[in-house]
Amino acid sequence: MIKMRHLIYICAFLVVALLHTSCYRNIRYVVDDKTPLPHQYTDSIQDYHLQPGDIIGISLISTNNEINQMFTERNSQQQMSSGSSSNRRGGYIVSDSGYVLLPIFGNVMASGKTISQIRSSIQHQADAKLIDAVVSVELLNFDVYFIGASQNTRVNFDKTSVNILEAIAQTGGINYEAKRRKIIVIRKSPGGHSLYNIDVTDRHIMEATQFYLQPGDIVYLEPKRFAAVTNGLKNYTTVLSIVSSALTTYYLISRLK
């Protein structure tokens, strides 16, 4: 029969072990001991092509203050009147037909073009109608969504090239509950959706086309098989601590009799 002091030792050990497990983090990225450092990887970045529903910020500066104000007022009106979180950023929405409607320029084809190409297109029209006009264009809706393994958040970026490691860093990193070798990226495509598997422990991922994300990507962090069990054990840490204290108290009282 197990003695009372042995039960106390066992309970104390379980509490310490569970506390240690709940704090333990073994998060490693781009691990490849076989590749000597320094090592250069070929960049896989690809220019993003605008799609219907994208929101672009367009500003114009010229000697004509009235026209300059048209762009400023249009951005402000759209920012104030829109009810969606995306449209509150202002800017111009690419319509379902692929155009953006701009002051004095009318409908300008945007879908299928990169930010640089749409800027050049608008700049070309501005040069024909205005004097010393300077056009700038930026993508406003570069959102990446994280779900799964205690990650449910949206991150917005103010640039058009974001890789998976940058995006993960913005969320605070991958916690110990998620699989690092099996991160799934869900990406909208013309025919529906495409799924990609990413292993962030592999250094060669930096050469993969999936290394760079696109606006609207959903990053699914798949939970580890025993993540639910681990969470359950963490929730019982307090209970075990109370049980241990109760047994200790019982033991001390029994010794006094």
Q: What is the pLDDT of residue 116?
A: 94
- In whole angstroms, what is the distance from residue 217 CA to residue 198 CA? 13
Q: What is the pLDDT of residue 182?
A: 86
- In whole angstroms, what is the distance from residue 199 CA to residue 52 CA? 31
Stronger pLDDT, 252 or 232, i.e. the higher one? 252
Q: Which two tokens stand for residue 108?
A: 């300008």
Chain-wide mean pLDDT for the chain? 76
Q: Where are the alpha helices (DSSP H) in the chain?
A: 4-23, 65-81, 115-129, 164-170, 227-235, 237-256
In a 10 Å sphere around its CB, with 0-12 CB exposed, 13-18 middle and 19+ buried, how is residue 85 labelled? exposed
CA angle 94, 96, 102 (to 5 degrees): 35
φ, ψ of residue 131 in degrees (nearest 5): -110, 130
pLDDT digits (tens, 9 = 90+) for 25-53: 555 666 665 666 666 666 667 788 999 99
Tell me the percentage of the chain whose pLDDT exceeds 90.
27
Q: What is the pLDDT of residue 79?
A: 44
User: How many angstroms separate the first and last alpha carbons of the chain?
Assistant: 21
Nearest one of 248, 238, 209 to 6, comparing CA atoms: 248
pLDDT digits (tens, 9 = 90+) for 50-109: 999 999 999 899 998 888 888 876 555 444 443 333 344 568 999 999 999 998 899 999
* 8 Å CB contact between 160 and 188: no
